[in-house]
Amino acid sequence: ERKFASMVGSPFAVSCSSGSTALMLAFRALGLGPGDEVLMPSHTFVASLNGFYHYGARPVFVDVDPETMTMDPEKASDAVTDSTKAVLPVHIYGHPADMGAFVDLAEDREIALIGDAAQAHGAAYRGTDVGAIGDMTCYSFFPSKIVTVGGEGGMITCEDEELYLNLQALKNHGRYEGERDISSMPGFNFRLPEILASIGIVQLEHMESWIERRRKIAKRYSRELEGVGDTRVPVERDWARHVYYLYVIRTSRRDELRTHLKNRGISTGIHYRVPVHRMPYIEGRWELPETESLVNEILSLPMHPLLTPEEQDAVIEAVLDFFRSS
């Protein structure tokens, strides 16, 4: 916890059992309940929603910037109501949301700002790590993430000491430090096992080199694929540090290209094919044209720090061949 807090430049960090439980703890600490609303993008993994949905709070889905694919702060501002208690920007794929605008929104409307950085270890907004912005920031150490713990794990960063102490108690059956026999509040067993934490400590020592390797791979992808067919490569705003948890292109021929790459022995992914507002347990109709458009076009190309130049050559050549032959 101390090492992670120091890394992001936040006074406090609270470890927990997963990225999902990090979100659940954060929203429990805010005291959200039935009738409360949380602004969030629909273009994210469903865990972003479930972090508060279990408490009876209602999602208000906000459309995204079509280039960064993060929540549009102007549209978020328009969606605030008297019931809004929090805004949840998601740093999707490793590109930070426009946090300056969200800080202003949260302060002006007196709502909580919680960042979902499950995919954004090391991402920064105007030189400040996303984990040092807002009331709380939630991370995941799932095995596919930029930093992992050899299993499931999560982390919450925050600046407020009282909030930190409450989070520590909530994850440990509601017991504050030093209280073995007294639970001061209803809590959870969301602790991170120490053996997994020890793996995470070692992983953190390599994080920067792994991110730089991801950024180098992404730069080459973009150089080779920009302007090929109707391919749209990821952007990196001038105020952002993108850490490329995923390298996601857009093309109207996504499914054809994916089949072509599969036939070449190249694995790809779609993150995410079904937006959260279309989950069967979500009520209401939502007009999110940018989200509805991008989910039909996004394709995740191979991206990890151990990807070799020869492997990347094969991916690039396969994409070029697809568009040359069509």
The pLDDT profile of the chain, 326 residues, written as one tens digit per residue, is: 999 999 999 999 999 999 999 999 999 999 999 999 999 999 999 999 999 999 999 999 999 999 999 999 999 999 999 999 999 999 999 999 999 999 999 999 999 999 999 999 999 999 999 999 999 999 999 999 999 999 999 999 999 999 999 999 999 999 999 888 999 999 999 999 999 999 999 999 999 999 999 999 999 999 999 999 999 999 999 999 999 999 999 999 999 999 999 999 999 999 999 999 999 999 888 999 999 999 999 999 999 999 999 999 999 999 999 999 97
- Per-residue pLDDT at 184: 95
User: What is the value of pTM for the model shown?
Assistant: 0.97
- Per-residue pLDDT at 202: 97
CATH code given to domain 206-324: 3.90.1150.10
- Per-residue pLDDT at 326: 78
User: Which CATH number fits the domain 2-200, given the four candidates 3.40.1280.10, 3.40.640.10, 3.50.50.60, 3.90.180.10?
Assistant: 3.40.640.10
- Per-residue pLDDT at 297: 98
Locate the domains of the chain by residue range. 2-200, 206-324
Please name the residues in contact with 316: beta carbons below 8 A apart, sequence gap of 6 or more: 220, 221, 224, 225
- Per-residue pLDDT at 180: 86
